[in-house]
A = this chain, B = another copy of it.
Amino acid sequence: MSESLAHKAAALDAADELAGARKLFALDETVYLDGNSLGALPAHVPARVADVVTRQWGELRIRSWDESGWWTAPERIGDRIAPLVGAGPGQVVVGDSTSVNVFKAVVGAVRLCGDDSRTDILVDATTFPTDGYIAESAARLTGKRLVPLAPADVPAALGPRTAVALLNHVDYRTGRLHDLPSLTAAIHEAGALAVWDLCHTAGALPVGLDDHGVDLAVGCTYKYLNGGPGSPAYLYVAERHQEAFDSPLPGWNSHIDPFAMTADFTPASGAVRGRVGTPDILSMLALEAALDVWDGVSIDSVRAKSLALTDFFLECVESYVPGGLVTSLTPSAHASRGSQVALSCADAPSVMEKLIARGVVGDLRRPDVLRFGFTPLYVGFGDTERAAAALAEVLAA
């Protein structure tokens, strides 16, 4: 649409130090802006999965629990994710869905709090809904009260009755980034524990779990970590809490000696305590393979490119789309922006359908939100300009 923005895109792509990462993924000419829902396939993963299925399962069979490292995969892969979220080793374990990990984390945090006079679990009322549903269940089972409220209202609501606050780092709908350091500090100031959901930040920007003293955290691995559809989630329990962490799902994999198969439960030490049952090896080892794309990548450079991409997308949209046809729900301030842009518009379902037909894949959040996720490892500035141009064409038609 515009010579100058297309030229600018080309210049930005030429200067992009992460541009080479795109070739690590199985991508075609589609502009794929849905990596905040399902990350693209890293090109080497099919061969690795084939080896897991054909050789490890098919030929070694039961021996693979030891010989192929299946048994220790949850903590080994946790340690691969740890540096991406600013965690030292031994604090992250992979397995189960995000929802199940939210349950472990919230019940675990209530028990770590241990103070019966602290009756309240605060939860981000605008959060991805599963967190609220699961937190409600955790509150019900632990005799606490769930208090849903906007993240901006959390600091004022914190007090001597607060046991735990469960917050999202980035809002799944708007892409708003919440201030993890200051909110965590405020929660601690009130004597409560902070549980963070990192689904929309891990792999897109630095999190700094250890630096900011987060107590527990969870996240999925199929968005910016490209682990594959429904790949297992992870649980972070800060080292200082591990010996007191009391999981509500003490499956045999969290036992100190699982193969002793004793009737009495004695929990393992460390991150392993967050495990539950037998890990889903195919999904888990696909994730492990997918994490290879992070070798040598700095999460700070990912963040810098992410902001440049979303800035440029907003610039292109502003330039190409006639005023008033779309409204950005994503904060313009970098400090409040994740790695997606959310635009509201009329007839959003039809607009997204037409965009997809033109090879620009984002997604829809009912009723009127178009979401465009920017995965810095495989989205370029040219893609970004083409997406904005296609959006303008669809809206003009």
Q: Measuring CB to CB, which residues of chain A are less than 8 angstroms from any residue of chain B?
A: 26, 28, 30, 32, 34, 37-38, 40-41, 45-46, 49-50, 53-54, 56-59, 61-62, 64-65, 70, 96-100, 103, 107, 125, 128-130, 132-134, 136-137, 141-142, 148, 173, 220, 222, 228-233, 247-253, 255, 259-263, 265, 276-284, 286, 361, 363, 365-366
Contact = CB atoms under 8 A, between A and B. Distances in A.
A100 B130 contact: no
B255 A62 contact: no
A277 B45 contact: no
A101 B260 CA distance: 22
Contact of A282 (B54, B130, B283): B283
A276 B100 contact: yes
B61 A53 contact: no
Contacts of A129: 252, 255, 261-263, 265
B53 A46 contact: yes
16 contacts: A32-B61, A38-B61, A46-B58, A56-B229, A57-B229, A98-B277, A99-B249, A99-B253, A100-B100, A100-B251, A129-B255, A129-B262, A133-B251, A134-B251, A230-B284, A260-B366
Contacts of A61: 30, 32, 34, 38, 40-41, 361
Given A49-B49, A125-B263, A284-B230, A277 B130 contact: yes
Nearest to A364: B259
B136 A276 contact: no
Contacts of A255: 129, 133
